[in-house]
């Protein structure tokens, strides 16, 4: 296993301000990664029960072993790795140090890193969140980040603009698979459109500026939602990627994707976490599981295209 610095390290300096990146747009990079490595995003979710399943302690050493094993196994072969920030934050600064290293190592091995942070705020606070994950000068610089729009889509403008500047991406929570989400996302506005449909329309407009071969502004849409997408009046043809949690342990399968996402299925990035991670700490088993899921998704998309 690759040697890593102690999780006690701290960055020597803070970024002084947003820095411009020479990266191509995230949407183009994601399309290439999906075509070359298979359309799959694997979560890095070191929650306590999974650490225990791996025979690891719920402590910094367990976190470090778990995280670096997943990166070693998958970063050179899957399109996207999605660390869940909360599972690192709970260990304080030492957990963040492990996250920083995982992000750097994953990107160095060719995986795109989608930071699952679900940040959402207004003004200078939202700008600070954006700089944390989308500024190339930041120790946590990632290829994309998840954000919550429920202080109003316009509140996301600092992240949307910095993503365009830095060649990164943003995934906006639109139609999530948790039952509680419907009370907000399915709510109907005065103009008759649901809140979720409004978010998707905003993203379509965002992507219209640079949608070839795929826009950089994505939506999070649960793969388990099925017919409820139609009930929300959801037009998934946003010109950008659709992050689809729910494959594997949550019950959805690759074969369900064409039915759920229709003509937009080619832009779906299915997310699998427990379905792959349960096979650790065996590196070969992790790789085999990820390859199997990616192959199933590729076959489902090809079948839908005819």
Tell me the per-residue pLDDT of 167-215, one tens digit each, with 9 for 90 and over.
Answer: 999 999 999 988 899 899 999 999 999 999 999 999 999 999 877 799 9
**92 Cβ contact partners less than 8 Å away, ≥ 6 residues apart:** none
3-state secondary structure of 280: coil
Residues in a beta bridge with 116: 84
pLDDT at residue 193, rounded to an integer? 92
- Mean pLDDT of the 47-68 span: 98
pLDDT for res 235: 87
306 — pLDDT class (breaks 50, 70, 90): low
Model pLDDT, residue 32: 97
DSSP-derived secondary structure for 128-166: HHHHHHH-TTSTT--SEEEE--TT-GGGGHHHHHHHHHH
Asked, for residue 290, whether it belongs to a domain, the answer is yes
Active site residue ranges: 118
For 125-151, what is the mean pLDDT?
Answer: 98
Residue 253 lies in a domain: yes
Q: Residue 20 has what pLDDT?
A: 61
Q: State which residues form the domain around 163.
A: 26-305
The CATH number for 74's domain is 3.20.20.70
> At 33, phi and psi to the nearest 5?
-65, -40
Average pLDDT score over residue span 277-290: 98
Instruction: For residue 37, tell me if it sits in a domain.
Output: yes
Mean pLDDT of 237-265: 88
**Is pLDDT above 80 for 229?**
no
The yes-or-no verdict on residue 220 having pLDDT over 90 is yes
- pLDDT of 80 higher than 80: yes
Domain count, the chain: 1
142 inside domain:
yes
What are the DSSP E strand ranges found in the chain?
A: 41-44, 80-83, 112-119, 144-147, 169-175, 217-221, 242-245, 268-272
Q: What is the Cα–Cα distance from 242 to 63, expressed in whole angstroms?
A: 29
Name 159's Cβ contacts closer than 8 Å, sequence gap at least 6. 119, 126, 129, 130, 134, 145, 147, 170
Following CA atoms 55, 58, 60, 63 in sequence, which dihedral angle do they give, to the nearest 10 degrees?
Answer: 60
In the predicted structure, residue 6 carries a pLDDT above the cut 80: no
Query: Does a structural domain hold residue 101?
Result: yes
Residue 178 burial by Cβ neighbours in a 10 Å radius (0-12, 13-18, 19+)? exposed
pLDDT grade for 228, boundaries at 50, 70 and 90: confident
Mean predicted lDDT score pLDDT of the chain: 91
pTM score: 0.93
Taking the C-alpha atoms of residue 48 and residue 213, their distance in angstroms, rounded to an integer, is 39
| Residue 19 domain flag | no
Q: Give domain status of residue 155, yes or no.
A: yes
Confidence of residue 9 (pLDDT cuts 50, 70, 90): very low
- Position with higher pLDDT, 198 vs 250: 198
| Position 227 pLDDT exceeds 80 | no
Q: Is residue 12 part of a domain?
A: no
């Amino acid at each position: 296993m690759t040697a890593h610095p102690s999780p006690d390290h701290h960055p020597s300096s803070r970024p002084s301000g947003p820095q411009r990146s020479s990266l191509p747009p995230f949407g183009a990079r994601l399309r290439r990664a999906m075509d070359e490595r298979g359309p799959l995003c694997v979560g890095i979710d070191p929650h306590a029960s999974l650490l225990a399943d791996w025979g690891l302690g719920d402590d910094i050493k367990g976190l470090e072993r778990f995280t670096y094993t997943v990166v070693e196994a998958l970063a050179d072969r899957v399109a996207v790795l999605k660390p869940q920030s909360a599972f690192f934050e709970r260990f304080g600064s030492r957990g963040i140090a492990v996250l920083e290293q995982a992000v750097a190592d994953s990107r160095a091995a060719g995986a795109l890193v989608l930071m699952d942070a679900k940040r959402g705020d207004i003004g200078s606070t939202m700008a600070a969140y954006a700089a944390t994950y989308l500024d190339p000068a930041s120790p946590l610089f990632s290829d994309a980040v998840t954000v919550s729009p429920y202080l109003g889509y316009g509140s996301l403008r600092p992240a949307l603009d910095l993503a365009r500047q830095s060649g990164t991406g943003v995934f906006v929570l639109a139609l999530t698979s948790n039952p509680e989400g419907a009370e907000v996302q399915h709510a109907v506005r005065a103009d008759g459109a649901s809140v979720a449909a409004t978010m998707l329309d905003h993203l379509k407009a965002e992507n219209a500026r640079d949608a070839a071969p795929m826009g950089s502004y994505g939506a999070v849409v649960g793969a388990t939602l099925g017919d409820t997408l139609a009930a929300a009046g959801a037009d998934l043809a946003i010109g950008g990627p659709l992050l689809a949690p729910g494959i594997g342990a949550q019950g959805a399968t690759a074969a369900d994707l064409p039915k759920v996402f229709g003509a937009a299925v080619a832009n779906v990035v299915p997310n699998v976490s427990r379905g792959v991670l349960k096979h650790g700490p065996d590196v070969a088993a992790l790789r085999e599981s990820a390859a199997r899921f990616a192959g199933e998704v590729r076959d489902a998309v090809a079948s839908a295209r005819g």
